[in-house]
Amino acid sequence: MKGFESLRRRFEIVPDVLAEANVEDIRDSIKPSGLYNSKAPRIKDLARIIQEEYGGDVNTLSRLPLEMARERLLKIPGIGFKTADVFLSVVGGRDSFPVDTHISRIAKRWNMVKGNAAYEQIRLAFEAAIPPEKRQSAHLSLIEFGRQICRARQPQCAACPVYEECEWERKADFKAAA
């Protein structure tokens, strides 16, 4: 969200502005979000496509039935599952549930999915567990939880509020180390 907020401070978040923006300026704005070198041209391309194919109206795309909107986004070069779901959730206000590395790690540690689960399996597991109206706030909370507590390296199991319910087989190693 830091990258999006930074982008919003620098640009009006509308297709005609972003389609005309300099990629380097977009990149500099979204640096806090990471992967800015690949994300910046995608943002510009997405804005251009919305301008050309949807008359510049983001709502035309985001108001389509959810799965149809996802399918159309996924056809855009460089747009994958996560980017499509972030767009639908953040820009479109839809109840899709984006999956990033933090969300994936949490799903696997909590045994919501198998260790080799793909994006869609993880997304569907969380969507089954979280009511649509709470998905956006749950998504943001879980990302923060994954960054602060359930980290990839040196997880803070001693501080974990769901330690007792967590089914991760290595959690005791990290609780004892604290």
Domain boundaries, given as residue ranges, for the chain: 2-91, 101-177
Residue 151: predicted pLDDT: 97
Asked whether the beta carbons of 141 and 126 are under 8 A apart, the reply is no
Is 28 a catalytic site residue?
Answer: no
Q: Looking at 28, 45, 82, 108, which residue is catalytic?
A: 82
* Residue that the structure tokens 């609780």 belong to: 175
CATH for 101-177? Answer: 1.10.1670.10
4 pLDDT above the threshold of 70: yes
Query: Is this structure's pTM higher than 0.85?
Result: no
38 pLDDT above the threshold of 90: no
CA distance 169 to 122: 19
Token pair listed for 22: 């300099």
Asked whether the beta carbons of 113 and 80 are under 8 A apart, the reply is no
Kind and range of the H or E run holding 35: none
Q: Looking at 25, 100, 108, 175, which residue is catalytic?
A: 100
* Residue that the structure tokens 């005609």 belong to: 16
For range 74-102, the mean pLDDT: 90
Residue 153: predicted pLDDT: 94
Is 100 a catalytic site residue?
Answer: yes
**What residue type is assigned to position 99 of the chain?**
V
Residue 177: predicted pLDDT: 73
Q: Does the domain made of 2-91 have the CATH classification 1.10.340.30?
A: yes
Mean pLDDT of the chain, nearest integer: 91
* Residue that the structure tokens 């080799």 belong to: 116
